[in-house]
Structure formats: C-alpha cells, structure tokens
Amino acid sequence: MLNKTKTHIEEVARFHSDKADEIEAFRIKYLSKKGGIVTDLFAAFKDVPAEDKKEFGQVLNQLKDAVSAKIEELKANLKSGDTKPEGLDMTLPADGAFMGSRHPVSLVMNEISEIFTRLGYTISEGPEIEDDWHVFSALNFPPEHPARDMQDTFFIERNPEILLRTHTSSVQVRVMDGAKPPIRTISPGRVFRNEAISARAHCIFHQLEGLYIDENVSFADLKQTLLYFAEEFFGKGTQIRLRPSFFPFTEPSAEMDVSCTLCGGKGCNVCKHSGWLEVLGCGMVDPNVLQNCGIDSEKYTGFAFGLGMERLAMLKYGVHDLRLFFENDLRFLRQFR
C-alpha cells in the first residue's frame, strides 16, 4: 500500500491539463468523499501495522498535499489566461451586450408623467388591492352602481369589501385623506376590470389619473391643462374638444377628444371617419367627494382627469391589437429599443 501511494504521487506530478472539465474530473478522482483515492487510503490507514503507520502517514499526507497543490496550479493557469481555446483570437473586440428596452406602455406613462411634472404635479402611488371605501364609496358611487357588480369588478373571495382596484382614483382618495389643499398630483398604475379580452379590451390595463384642488379652480383651468398636455404629447397644432358625459365623482363631467393624429382630422378608419379620437375622461371634482375626504367644498374646488395608457400607446405607435402589450413577444418589444 505504501508503494501504491508513492506511485499515485508520481502520477499526480505528471498530470497536466488546460481544460476545466478534465481538472474537475482529476479532483473528483482523488479527493471525492465517496470513492476518491485519497479518501479511501485514509479509510484504510487503520489497517496498517503499527510499525508502518508513521511512514505511511507521512507519504499519504504528501499525496494529499500534492493533489491539492496540482489542482490550485491548474486552476490558476486557467484564470490567468496562460492557455486559451484553439481558434480563439483574443485580440478581437467583444460582442456588444444585448440591450433591452422599456415596454411601450412604460414609455408612454413616463412621457406623460414628465409632461405633468413640468406643470408642478407630484406622482402618487397606492395599493392595487383596495377596499370598497377608497374605490367606490368615497368617490360617490351609489350602492346600486353597476361597477359594484361581480361582472364588472374582481372582488376578493370571502370578503366583498376587498377588491382589485378598478381605477387609480383610489390613490387620489388616499392623497386627499392625508394632505391639505393645494393638491396637485398624478396617479399612474395598473388597474383591473372583469372584461372579456379582445383586440380593444383587456382585464388588466394601466391608467394615469390627475387631480388638482385649490381655491378658485375652474373648468377653464382644466381645459387649458388638457390642451397643454395634448400639444405636448401629440404635437403642436393638436386640437381638443370636450363632450358632456357623466362620472359619479365629477360634476360637470366630460370626455375629451383630440384631432386624429393619423389623418390630421380628415377622417380615417382609426377615427371612424370622424376626425376625432377619444383619449380621456375629466370633470370638476364633485363636492360630495371633497366632503368625504375631509376637504371644505365651500372653500376649495378642483378637477380630475383619467387617461388609459394602452389606448395612448396604440395611437402613438400605430398598434392595432391591445393584446400585444401583454404577450411579451420579443419580436414586438424589440421594436421599441
């Protein structure tokens, strides 16, 4: 056994390799805890006659040290580049790292956020899982409103008071609850509605809602703010029009259209030959909403507006199927690098 151990020391000294897998196989052959040569020799040490233990122990330690030193030497050579794979020219420039891109919805949301921050708006965020008060009751939704039905809203099972928010107006309620006027904030985020998925609708989408509350805020302020946004986002010369509408949390309420950016207002398939595209809803904050949030409706007035990010991204980038924003198809996303 002593001679066999000395033979192993000679084999270790002769071993050389510049391949990582061969070096690893060498390590396993000698040092593996199960079946390794050094491990087995140490296990057999107890059977060596007492008079030979000292000499055998010294040789066995020499073998172990030789194996460890050889492995460290070969690994160091790999790291230092003393060897290189055949056919590889180390002087060639490295391949450029693949750069990802922001999602088109994120690009639109960031652009719109920047427009409103230039007007002094702050960005507010809130939870996606909300309660009935912040999503409906504080915003003047009556108990019989259809938005409270299961076919329109995702409620959390076993607790009808907890739901996935249907709009980011819930964030505005939290801001009004915790701050005193003047308030000027936008609330971008993801919302959920129980809708069938199609080229024009989805159960998940993104909104950006704005809120401005102060003394003597008027509908004229709202119109001028939205005109500024339209020209900044769609380009100079963009026209807007406001059509009467209804929302529980604003009074009066309106839908805002912009002149079609694809046909210049002349009429096309996208704008249904009307020359106008609907882009957002808006209105003056209902006094009941202010009172629900502890704001004196006799002293303060305000306006609110809400934009759908996917709709604006479709208009901006000429996308005709809303589902593309949620499929994570790299062929689609790489176009926005």
Q: Which sequence spans correspond to the domains of the chain? A: 2-80, 104-336
Is the pLDDT at 149 greater than 90? The verdict is no
Q: Which two tokens stand for residue 167?
A: 């709009």
- Residue 148 pLDDT: 67
- Beta strand pairing call for 122-123 and 183-192: parallel
Report whether 262 contacts 155 (CB < 8 A): no
- Residue 151 pLDDT: 67
Confidence tier at 60 by pLDDT (50, 70, 90)? confident
Task: Give pairs for 68-73: CB < 8 Å, separation 24+.
Answer: 68/31, 70/12, 70/13, 70/15, 70/26, 71/23, 71/26, 71/27, 71/31
Where is average pLDDT lowest: 53-57, 159-163, 212-216, 333-337?
Answer: 53-57
- Residue 165 pLDDT: 93
- Residue 81 pLDDT: 59
Is the pLDDT at 113 greater than 90? The verdict is yes
Is the pLDDT at 279 greater than 70? The verdict is yes
Tens digits of residue pLDDT in 184-214? 999 999 999 988 888 878 899 999 999 999 9
Is the pLDDT at 84 greater than 70? The verdict is no
Percent of the chain exceeding pLDDT 70 equals 93
Is the pLDDT at 85 greater than 60? The verdict is no
Q: Which CATH architecture has domain 104-336?
A: 2-Layer Sandwich (3.30)
**Separation CA 245–CA 233 (nearest Å):** 24
Is the pLDDT at 117 greater than 80? The verdict is yes
- Residue 237 pLDDT: 86
Confidence tier at 41 by pLDDT (50, 70, 90)? confident
- Residue 150 pLDDT: 59
Mapping DSSP to helix (H, G, I), strand (E, B) and coil, where does residue 101 land?
Answer: coil
**Separation CA 155–CA 125 (nearest Å):** 21
* Cβ neighbours around 256 below 10 Å, total: 24
pTM over 0.85: no
What is the DSSP track for 211-258?
Answer: EEEETT--HHHHHHHHHHHHHHHH-TT--EEEEEEEETTEEEEEEEEE
- Residue 206 pLDDT: 94
Task: Give pairs for 107-113: CB < 8 Å, separation 24+.
Answer: 107/313, 107/336, 108/309, 108/312, 108/313, 108/316, 109/188, 109/206, 109/208, 109/309, 111/233, 112/188, 112/208, 112/229, 112/233, 112/307, 112/309, 112/312, 113/186, 113/188, 113/208
Average pLDDT (169-179) is 93
- Residue 266 pLDDT: 76
Q: Which two tokens stand for residue 242?
A: 């406001």
Is the pLDDT at 10 greater than 70? The verdict is yes
- Residue 5 pLDDT: 76
Average pLDDT (306-333) is 89
Average pLDDT (211-220) is 96
Average pLDDT (318-327) is 88
- Residue 82 pLDDT: 53
- Residue 80 pLDDT: 67
Average pLDDT (263-267) is 72
- Residue 65 pLDDT: 86
Q: Please list, residue by residue across 3-34, b when 16 or more beta carbons sit within 10 angstroms of its beta carbon and e when fewer do.
A: eebeebbeebeebebeeeeebeebbeebeeee
**Separation CA 242–CA 239 (nearest Å):** 10
- Residue 72 pLDDT: 86
> Over the chain, what is the mean pLDDT?
86
Is the pLDDT at 259 greater than 70? The verdict is yes
Report whether 290 contacts 296 (CB < 8 A): yes
Confidence tier at 23 by pLDDT (50, 70, 90)? confident
